[in-house]
Chains A and B, each alone.
Chain A
Amino acid sequence: MFKLSVKLIQWNLTRNRLQLLIMVLAVIGSLSSYVLLGTALNAISAEIVQSQRDDWPFDLTIKAPTEDEKNKIRQIEGVYHSEELKMEEVYFYSNTVIALGTPEEETALILELESGSLPQNDDQVTIPGEVSRAYNLSIGQKILLKIATTISAGKEFEIAGVFSTKKGVTKTFVVTNAAINQLNMQHSGSSLVIQLDGKADLQKTYYKVLDINPKLVVTLDSAGYENAQVTGTISDSLIKSLRFLILAISATSLAVLFYLSQRSGAYQTGVLRAIGVKRFWLLLPPLIQICVVFLISCGTAYILLPILSQILGLNEAGGANLSSVGWDLLVFFAIGLLSTIAVNLQFLHRSIPTLFKDTW
């Protein structure tokens, strides 16, 4: 029976080569849409989430981790962006404010200036627009900043620039990194600030950081992250809905194609059933056929997708990635297999005289 089954499989694959080609192309098309749309939407979703951030766009601040700890923290699932910042709590008049060392170029902070520039030397500061208005301060004037945690004389800074008051622009005082050290001789080193992707759980990420070193000092910005999560959930739902739609349409198309393929062999199937071939052996050839179709399609798609994504600008540097392609292929294959089984079981359960009468 196995030898006969092999022959039946051969017959199934070769009796209509055009149909087989159409199926392969359909799977390649659907799979490419599924994967590329998913990566594009994921990239958009991440941008949308980050665009909803306020002036302090970080969810976790970890004080002075070692290099090794920083590397481990960056690997935690859900970490979207990380950077190192020198920061100190300082007194400005009677207020406690944050003074930052000049951030790196790829910073998530929005440093839009209303006037002037970022500090050019260790004696300069750029101040928030709201502070400038409240205290009637302007470029060239001097202010005193004192470390909040120690008794010190503080340091005088000349105002080099004023930040814009637009939503999302930073509301911190920015000095040079060396000036931070001058303000606090015992400055412990850069803090690692983290942005999550809007999907990760903040508390769980916090515990994962503590798993790396329980003595780390971690500050959470729960309120800010909640906003990001809401946006993330909405865009996530959109992505899932669209991808589900693609899967549903693909599954339906595949089921139709397989149904048409089986219909064309209805009479032969009826004869084989009549002479005693059991349903299982007749189910095997279409299952093998779907495996062959997927093997060819997925192999071709796996080679084509990176090229297509490059052409469409969905490369790694743009924030999107194809690391989930393997999982996507598996989901697609499972859907195809289930459709095939469903269609063929329904087909094989038709009465034999009905199969004989099928004049497809």
Chain B
Amino acid sequence: MSHNQVALKGIDLIRIFHLGDQEVHALDEINIEVYQGELVMLLGPSGSGKTTLLHTLSGLDAPDRGEVFVDDVSIYKLNDNKLSHLRSRSFGFIFQSFNLLPNLTALENVQIPLRITGQPNPVERSMEMLTRVGLSDRAQHRPGQLSGGEQQRVTVARALVSKPKIVFADEPTGNLDSVTSMEIMNLLQEMVHENNSACLMVTHNAELVPLANRVLNLRDGKMVNK
């Protein structure tokens, strides 16, 4: 796949939150394109709209105005079932708080996206992914038995097992120490490039910036540079 192929496009995105009598413009006419194979970081102070933009681009929160395109499909024109299907097929998610189901083993957690979409050989493919992230010997362990770094590796494996077009990561290293953070980031970068996925990541951690192909700064809901 060409590096220049647009994986995701947001046009004139506006998102307004109403807090009592006040209107907060979380996104103020944002235009953004993310290309296949690139890792894009969203930086900005707290309240700048990074997470809101991530949620809007990933189909989790419809904008008040504007559109989001994936493969020339305006995703918010899809009904909930089709949007859920799109997310399960084409998107991978990595959250700050790991979010593994506590009563499932690491292997079962990784299988979730494959089982949702009914893809073949979920066990084998998940095991391959766990091996890739260095946790093949921990496959039968539950999240409570894994360290923070190990849990985040499982989350990375889950996000990438279905070879998604786009990976959305919201502060993936927020709960990790600096050494583990770098390990996770290096792993993510490798795997994203291997699969030629696009990756859009929100982070506060300026140390991770060198790993990005592109850095976007947000301030008060606006893109200040590209």
* Chain A contacts to B: CB under 8 angstroms: 1, 3-4, 7-8, 10-11, 14-15, 267-268, 271-279, 351-353, 356
Contact A353 B116 (CB under 8 A): no
Q: Is residue B117 contacting chain A, with contact meaning CB distance below 8 A?
A: yes
Contact B60 A1 (CB under 8 A): no
Nearest CB in chain B: distance from A138 CB, A: 90
Contact B99 A7 (CB under 8 A): no
Cα separation A275 to B80 with both chains bound (whole Å): 13
Contact A353 B61 (CB under 8 A): yes
Proximity string of chain B (72-91) to chain A, C-beta cutoff 8 Å, 1 when within and 0 when not: 00000000110011111101
Nearest CB in chain A: distance from B213 CB, A: 24
Which residues of chain A have C-beta atoms less than 8 A from B113's C-beta? 275-276
Contact B118 A1 (CB under 8 A): yes
The secondary-structure label for the interface of chain A is helix
Contact A11 B93 (CB under 8 A): no
* Chain B contacts to A: CB under 8 angstroms: 51-52, 55, 58, 60-61, 80-81, 84-89, 91-93, 95, 97, 99, 101-104, 108, 111-113, 115-118, 158
Contact B84 A7 (CB under 8 A): no
The secondary-structure label for the interface of chain B is helix
Contact A7 B103 (CB under 8 A): yes
Cα separation A97 to B55 with both chains bound (whole Å): 92
Cα separation A277 to B89 with both chains bound (whole Å): 11
Q: A1-B115, A351-B61 are in contact. Are A276 and B99 (CB under 8 A)?
A: no
Contact A276 B103 (CB under 8 A): no
Which residues of chain B have C-beta atoms less than 8 A from A8's C-beta? 101
Q: A10-B103, A11-B102, A352-B60 are in contact. Are A277 and B116 (CB under 8 A)?
A: yes
Residue of B nearest to A278 (CB): B84
The 19 listed contacts between A and B (C-beta, < 8 Å) are A4-B116, A11-B103, A15-B102, A15-B103, A267-B97, A268-B101, A271-B93, A271-B95, A271-B99, A272-B112, A273-B84, A274-B87, A275-B113, A277-B88, A277-B116, A279-B80, A279-B84, A353-B51, A356-B95
